[in-house]
Amino acid sequence: MTHVHRVCRAATALTAVLLVTGPAWGLQRDGNEPRESGDRKPSLSLRVTPPLGFTPLRVRMTAELRGGADDYADLYCPTIEWDWGDGTASQNAEDCAPYEAGKSQVRRRIAGEHVYRDAGAFRAFLRLKQKTRLISASSVVIQVRANVGAE
């Protein structure tokens, strides 16, 4: 394949990504997207610090709910499940007051810590649930390398 063909394929792939991702980089809205952040479901993003390190690696994961109403009923007082990707998991469920529209507040930031004792690449998941129903989820990859000086 010539260099020109590779450039054309890359440009085609980039165009496809821009078309799929929606109203960004000056693309026109079709008028059907919600205009206010309270009109749509919040999105969940997950960040890990540090994403790479040596055993034993202590990481801190921080999730943030962005957009949506502050009293979004489905995300009020969810069960928080961490699947650390190394065969361990943890769960947290709070005892909350009953949901009241316009009064109950969604928790926007969630944090958890974990120690990876073995080397490898691990995909950690955060899941927010109401009873057994999955409401939102996000994942992140952690790279853990063997500590050369450890015995």
Q: How far apart are CA 43 and CA 82, in angstroms?
A: 17
Q: How far apart are CA 15 and CA 27, in angstroms?
A: 12
Q: How far apart are CA 63 and CA 128, in angstroms?
A: 11
Structure tokens at 60: 């801190």
pLDDT, tens digit, 9 for 90 and up, residues 36-70: 444 578 899 999 999 999 999 999 999 999 998 88
pLDDT at 22 over 50: no
Domain ranges of the chain: 1-32, 34-145
Q: What is the pTM of this model?
A: 0.70
DSSP state at residue 75: G
Structure tokens at 29: 């809205």
**34-145 is a CATH 1.20.1300.10 domain:** no
Beta carbons of 139 and 125 less than 8 angstroms apart: yes
Which of 101, 49, 44 is CA-nearest to residue 76? 101
Q: What is the pLDDT of residue 139?
A: 97
pLDDT, tens digit, 9 for 90 and up, residues 74-130: 999 999 999 999 999 999 988 999 999 999 999 999 999 999 999 999 999 999 999
Residue 27's SS3 state is coil
| β partners of residue 52 | 143
Parallel, antiparallel or unpaired: strands 133-145 and 52-54: parallel
Beta carbons of 96 and 140 less than 8 angstroms apart: no
